[in-house]
Amino acid sequence: MRDTAFFRRWMAVASAAVNREAARLTELDSPIGDADHGSNMQRGFTAVGAALEKDAPDTPGAVLVLAGRTLISTVGGASGPLYGTLLRRTGKALGEAAEVSDEQLRDALHAGVDAVAQLGGAAPGDKTMLDALVPAVDALGTSYEAARDAAENGALATVPLQARKGRASYLGERSIGHQDPGATSSALLIAALAEVAAA
């Protein structure tokens, strides 16, 4: 079973990964975006850390709902509402239990990823974060390591795609040949989950 501390660790490890990779995320957002994805994610996850410290939510669901709400209110870019929705919807799906099973977490993440697809109107193949998130959630049925690898491969597989959603889609065919920044940050979040699950 996974308790509240597990979800706080996930957010902390995710935040550290975002800080470590911020420059790279912004670099990826330069040719096909507006060069703010790293700073958006950094600002958002720094605020998540502060909010979790201040409010000390005491269930897994409450941790993710607060994290999601914080991302929505602190990140101006497209990724804020999308990641915020992912975490908020996942947290809501976990309900008020003090501990959740891996199966419950998988089902909840499924609901969270579905909510991202609904909000953004994107599907796998559109060169967005969903190209990492959808295969990751599918692979969670196997293991956290499989989900991490699926997210990483999904992010790499965005390179030859033409963007059909978000800012990168304005570039049309010129979006081809670049890795999607949001799929890359999604792979970091899933890797953080796999890391805390293995600990």
Nearest distance in Å: CB 40, ligand ADP? 4
Q: Which is nearer to ligand ADP, 72 or 97 (CB)?
A: 72
With CB under 5 A as the contact rule, the residue among 1, 23, 30, 34 that binds Mg ion is: 34
How far apart are alpha carbons 68 and 86 in whole angstroms? Answer: 7
Q: Which is nearer to Mg ion, 92 or 167 (CB)?
A: 167
How far apart are alpha carbons 199 and 197 in whole angstroms? Answer: 6
| Interaction site with ligand ADP (CB under 6 A) | 29, 33-34, 36-37, 40, 77-79, 82, 120-122, 128-130, 165-167, 180-183
Which residue is at the shortest CB distance from ligand ADP? 182
3-state secondary structure of 140: coil
Nearest distance in Å: CB 168, ligand ADP? 6
How far apart are alpha carbons 57 and 102 in whole angstroms? Answer: 20
In the chain, beta strands by DSSP E:
2-3, 99-100
How far apart are alpha carbons 164 and 169 in whole angstroms? Answer: 5
Return the residues of window 117-176 that contact Mg ion according to CB under 5 A: none
* Binding region for Mg ion (CB under 5 A) out of 30-38, 63-71, 96-104, 142-150: 30-38
Burial of 72 (0-12, 13-18, 19+ CB in 10 A): middle
Nearest distance in Å: CB 72, Mg ion? 16
Phi-psi group of 123: left, alpha or beta (phi > 0 → left; psi -120 to 50 → alpha; rest → beta):
beta
Residue 9 interacting entry, from Mg ion, ligand ADP, none, C-beta within 5 to 8 Å by type: none
Q: What does the binding site for Mg ion look like in residue numbers (CB under 5 A)?
A: 29, 33-34, 36-37
